[in-house]
Each structure stands twice: as C-alpha cells, then as structure tokens.
Structure 1
Amino acid sequence: MEEIIIGGQKVVPLYSQKEIQERVRELGDKIFKAYEKEITGKEKLVVVLILRGAIFFGTDLYRILEEKFFKKHLFENLELDTLAISTYGNSTQPGEVKILKDLNRSVQGKNILVVEDIVDTGETLKRVQEFLMAKKPRSIKIAALIDKTPRRKKEVQIDFVGFSLSEPLWVVGYGLDYKEAGRGLPFIGALHPI
C-alpha cells in the first residue's frame, strides 16, 4: 500500500477493512441478541447515528441489524435517525459540545441505540445522553466503534465496543478524520510523525 500522509503525518494502519467488517458483524450479532426479546409487538429500536463520524460504522451496523430484524419479521420495529454534533470543528482539541441537528422523530417510550465513532474524553457522549434522556426514551444504550480511554474526563457507559485503544493516538479512516481528512479510508490508521 502506498504511504498516506495527512496533516504532515504518516497514517499507520491499526485495523484492516476485513477486521473492521468482522468486528461490526460481531457487534451486530451482539446488539441484536441484547434487544431480540425486548423488541416485540409495538416496541421500537431507534438507531441514532452521531454525524458525521459514525456514518460509515453506523450504516454498516444498521444494515446488519435490519437484516436480523427482517428475518424475525420485525420489519416495523427498527428505525434510523441521526443527530449532528459539533465538538472538534477544525481542531484536534475538543471544544463546546453543540447539537447542530436534532432527531427527526419522537423517541419517547422507545429504545435508543446511539452509534458513535469514537469515545475519547467522554464529554460529547455525556452531552448526547443528557440531551436524549430529556426526550424520555424507554432506554438508551451506546455502541462505539472505538473506546479510547487515555483522555477520558467523563465516565460513560459504553454497552457495545468495537475496538479499545489504550494509547492516546489520533485515528483516521472509516468515518474518523483529522481536520476533515482521511474520513473515507477503508481501514483505520493512527497518525504518526514522519
């Protein structure tokens, strides 16, 4: 593979496209099993993707969940929505958490699965949880592609984790970006000085 440079730093692969696909499939299985007995009759699961970072992960995960719900004839029990958040902007330091786009539907009395690309400081996810709790859902669970613990400031419960990072690496690819660059890479890589 040709060397990829983003922001004057080399992208060193951490997780291949195949590893990501396998892990997302495993998460889909785990999530479906967690909700399978709860989502019957009129119960709903609303999958809420946090834009823009979770768009690739969330879309792939939603497809897997939809396939499983359809096989159980739960066609109308799964819904998709998005919430747009701004924290980093064009920076590498988190700033104020702002809700840029609210949900398109009521989630009152429904189960919510929040799908996030990466949990770093925990501040964004904590704000999202508070925002969604005010809408009076039945439950809220969190699925994160990456749980990055070294800079954690707020304790948050992550129910489904794709990968855990114990180093303070900046990662790009599969929706993750560095100042908007690298989001479309099919793998996840860490930025390292050249």
Structure 2
Amino acid sequence: MHEVVEKVLVSQDEIIHKCAELGAKITSDYKALNEVPYVVGLLKGSVPFMAEIIKHIDLDIQIDFMDVSSYQGTKSVGDIRIDKDLDCSVQGLSILLVEDIVDTGRTLKEVKRTLMNKGAKDVKVVSLLDKPDRRVVDIEAEYVGFAIPNEFVIGYGLDYDQKYRNLPYIGVLKREIYE
C-alpha cells in the first residue's frame, strides 16, 4: 500500500471481476437493443477503468475521449469546461460514457445534455464508482461498479493534484495530505 493511502476500499482483483460482470451486462443489454455503443471515456480519470472494461464488452465498439473538468483541487466547483471534444459527430449514435466516479453529478449531467443536444440517439453511463452521498443534481449511472462512502479516493484513474492515478486499486487518501 502506498504511504498516502489510509486504507484500500476496492482491490485490483475486485475491479477486474466487476469489469467482467459489467461488460457482460453491457454486451447483453446492447445486443438486446440491436445497438453497438460508441464508447466515450471522460479524461483523465476513466482511462484505467475504460482500458479494463472494454476487454469485457463483446461487441465491435469504437472508442473516443472527451476531456471535461469541473474540479479545482478537491472541490467540484460546478463550472463545466470541455477541453477536448469528440473526434466525430454523435448524430444518431448510442453513446456509452465511461466515468471513473459519479460524485456531485454536475459534470455527468452537463456532458449527457451536451451529447443529446448534438444529436446522440441515447447516452448511458458506466462508472467504476458512485458516491451518492455527494450528489447535488438528479442523475444516476446505468451501470455502476461500486458504491462508496463520502471519502476522498485515489487510484485506478482517480487523482489528487494529478498524482496517484496509477495505483492499481481504489484507496482512501490520508486526510493530512489534502487538508
């Protein structure tokens, strides 16, 4: 365990097992709809989760990325900024957004609204983590790996000050690091 981690919330093995479950469910759901999702990762945090989950989606998917932010330091400020948009039109596409964590929900709600306004057929969300105690807008992910308590988490894509994304698990950051 890394010296800044108070405790491990979700192990690497648990994440991989959950990705297999989620991937099978996503595959089944989209096959039932006779659709193939256009898989969109929200940078930077979704990258490790997206890399794992797409291995378990048994469809001929395409992937793309958006860079969207609403954080300054440890706080979601509610000011949504799109730094990198998609490389193609989403007109008529079924989008599967890949998110590291659904926290306040502000970013996700704005991204979904933006994609629908650009003509997406539908937008569903798969998130590694869900922190429902922090939600300030009405939005839920269709596919969730783990619901977690209101603690500051790092690892598997989640960062503090752009560090610790490469930890192979989800850990709670020691309070003295960010206070």
Residues 79-119 of structure 1 deviation map (CA, whole Å, 9 limit, x = unaligned):
11111012114x00112110000001111111100110001
Q: Which amino acid aligns with 2:24?
A: D
Match of 2:124 among 122, 141, 161: 141
Is 1:23 matched up with 2:23? no
| Counterpart in the other structure of 1:183 | 165
Structure 1 consecutive aligned stretches of length 4 or more whose deviation exceeds 3 Å: none
- Specify every segment of 5 or more residues in structure 1 that has no aligned partner in the other structure, as ranges: 70-74
Using the size of structure 2 for normalisation, the TM-score is 0.92
Is 1:32 matched up with 2:27? yes
Using the size of structure 1 for normalisation, the TM-score is 0.85
Q: Secondary structure at the match of 2:133?
A: coil
Contact 2:90 2:120 in 1 (8 A): yes
- What is the CA–CA distance in structure 1 between the aligned matches of 2:71 and 2:142, rounded to whole Å? 24
Percent identity reads: 39
Match of 2:154 among 172, 175, 187: 172
Aligned residues: 175
- What is the CA–CA distance in structure 2 between the aligned matches of 1:37 and 1:13, rounded to whole Å? 36
Contact 2:30 2:36 in 1 (8 A): no
- What is the CA–CA distance in structure 2 between the aligned matches of 1:175 and 1:11, rounded to whole Å? 17
Match of 1:119 among 102, 127, 131: 102
Is 1:100 matched up with 2:92? no
Q: Secondary structure at the match of 1:99?
A: strand
Q: Secondary structure at the match of 1:36?
A: helix
